[in-house]
Structure 1
Amino acid sequence: MGRVSSCSELLLWDKHPARGANAHIFDWSGQLSLLQQKASEELLASVQQNISHLLHAVCGAGKTELLFPSIFNCLQDGKRVCVAAPRTDVILELFPRFQKVFPKTNIHALYGGSPDQEGFADLVLATTHQLYRFENAFDVVFVDEADAFPYFADETLRKAVTKASKKDAAIHYVTATPTKSLKTANQSVLSRRYHGHDLPVPRYSALWGYTRKLKKGKTPTKLQQWIEEKTKNNIPFLVFLPTIEMLENFPGDLPRVHAEHPERKEIVMQLREKKIPGLLTTTILERGITIENVHVAVVGAEQKIFTSSALIQISGRVGRSFKYPDGDIVFFHHGLTHEMDKAKAAIEGWNKE
Structure 2
Amino acid sequence: MNQELSFFLSGRLLLQEEIPFPLQDQPVQFLQGVFKEKNQYHCARCGNHNDELFASFPCARCGQMCTYCRHCLMMGRVSECSRLVCWTGSAPIKREDGRLNWEGQLSKGQLVASDAVVEAVEENSEWLIWAVCGAGKTEVLFRGIETALQAKKRVCIATPRTDVVLELAPRLQKVFPTVGVAALYGGSPDRHKYSSLVVTTTHQLFRFQEAFDVMIVDEVDAFPYFYDPALQFAVHKSRKPNSALIYLTATPNEQWQLECKLGKRNHTKISARFHRYPLPVPQVRWCGRWQKAFIKGKIPPKVEDWVKSRLASDKQALLFFPHIDLMEQALPIFQQLDPHIQAVHAEDPERKEKVALMREKKLLLLLTTTILERGVTFPNIDVAVIGAEDDIFTESALVQIAGRAGRSADFPDGVVTFFHFGRTKAMLRAIAHIEAMNKEGRERGLIDG
Q: Is TM (by shorter chain) over 0.5?
A: yes
1:194 partner letter: F
Q: Contact conserved, 2:183 with 2:190, CA < 8 A, in 1? A: no
Q: Deviations over 1:166-210 (max 9, x none)?
A: 113231100000124555632100011000000000001111010
Q: 1:128 aligns with which of 202, 212, 216?
A: 202
CA distance in structure 2 between the partners assigned to 1:8 and 1:114 by the alignment: 24
- Alignment gaps of 5+ in structure 2: 1-73, 336-340, 441-449
1:164 is the counterpart of 2:238: yes
Equivalenced residue count is 353
- Aligned twin of 1:21: 95
Shift of 1:25: 2.7
CA distance in structure 1 between the partners assigned to 2:270 and 2:372 by the alignment: 23
1:237 is the counterpart of 2:317: yes
- Aligned twin of 1:256: 343
Q: 1:223 aligns with which of 303, 306, 310?
A: 303
CA distance in structure 2 between the partners assigned to 1:116 and 1:192 by the alignment: 35
- Aligned twin of 2:434: 347
Instruction: Give matches, 1:22-61, under 5 Å.
Output: 22-61=96-135
- Aligned twin of 2:157: 83
Q: Deviations over 1:218-260 (max 9, x none)?
A: 1111111111111111111000000011111112332111111
Shift of 1:115: 1.9
Q: 1:334 aligns with which of 421, 426, 432?
A: 421
Moved more, 164-173 or 131-140: 164-173
1:10 alignment partner, SS class = strand
Q: Contact conserved, 1:20 with 1:120, CA < 8 A, in 2? A: no
Shift of 1:21: 1.9
Shift of 1:11: 2.6
- Aligned twin of 1:206: 286
Q: Contact conserved, 1:294 with 1:327, CA < 8 A, in 2? A: yes
Q: 1:4 aligns with which of 54, 77, 84?
A: 77
Q: 1:113 aligns with which of 162, 165, 187?
A: 187
Q: 2:137 aligns with which of 63, 66, 77?
A: 63
Q: Deviations over 1:13-48 (max 9, x none)?
A: 111122322222311010001221111112211221
Shift of 1:3: 2.9
1:233 partner letter: S
Q: Which has the higher contact order (CA 8 A, sep 6+)?
A: 1
Q: Contact conserved, 1:236 with 1:274, CA < 8 A, in 2? A: yes
2:377 alignment partner, SS class = coil
CA distance in structure 2 between the partners assigned to 1:179 and 1:289 by the alignment: 21
2:200 alignment partner, SS class = strand
Q: Contact conserved, 2:213 with 2:242, CA < 8 A, in 1? A: no
- Aligned twin of 2:46: none
Give the 3 Å change call, closer, same or farther, for CA 15–270 of structure 1 in structure 2: same
CA distance in structure 2 between the partners assigned to 1:233 and 1:9 by the alignment: 60
Q: Contact conserved, 1:145 with 1:175, CA < 8 A, in 2? A: yes
CA distance in structure 2 between the partners assigned to 1:80 and 1:187 by the alignment: 23
CA distance in structure 1 between the partners assigned to 2:230 and 2:270 by the alignment: 30
CA distance in structure 1 between the partners assigned to 2:184 and 2:194 by the alignment: 13
Q: Deviations over 1:71-111 (max 9, x none)?
A: 01000000000000111111111111101010110110011
Moved more, 14-23 or 52-61: 14-23
2:130 partner letter: H
1:53 alignment partner, SS class = strand
Q: Contact conserved, 2:285 with 2:418, CA < 8 A, in 1? A: yes
CA distance in structure 1 between the partners assigned to 2:142 and 2:212 by the alignment: 17
2:370 partner letter: T
Give the 3 Å change call, closer, same or farther, for CA 87–119 of structure 1 in structure 2: closer
Q: 2:357 aligns with which of 242, 253, 270?
A: 270
Higher strand share: 2
- Aligned twin of 2:370: 283
2:334 alignment partner, SS class = coil
2:194 partner letter: F
CA distance in structure 2 between the partners assigned to 1:316 and 1:142 by the alignment: 21
Q: Contact conserved, 2:221 with 2:253, CA < 8 A, in 1? A: yes
Q: Contact conserved, 1:57 with 1:191, CA < 8 A, in 2? A: yes
Q: Contact conserved, 1:43 with 1:188, CA < 8 A, in 2? A: no
Q: Contact conserved, 2:182 with 2:190, CA < 8 A, in 1? A: no
Shift of 1:295: 0.6
Q: Contact conserved, 2:123 with 2:244, CA < 8 A, in 1? A: no
1:129 alignment partner, SS class = helix
1:167 alignment partner, SS class = strand
1:174 partner letter: L
- Aligned twin of 1:143: 217
Structure 2-normalised TM-score? Answer: 0.76
- Aligned twin of 2:266: 186
- Aligned twin of 1:307: 394
Shift of 1:117: 5.3
Identity %: 49
Q: 1:99 aligns with which of 173, 181, 184?
A: 173
Moved more, 56-65 or 214-223: 214-223
RMSD across aligned C-alpha pairs, in angstroms? Answer: 1.4
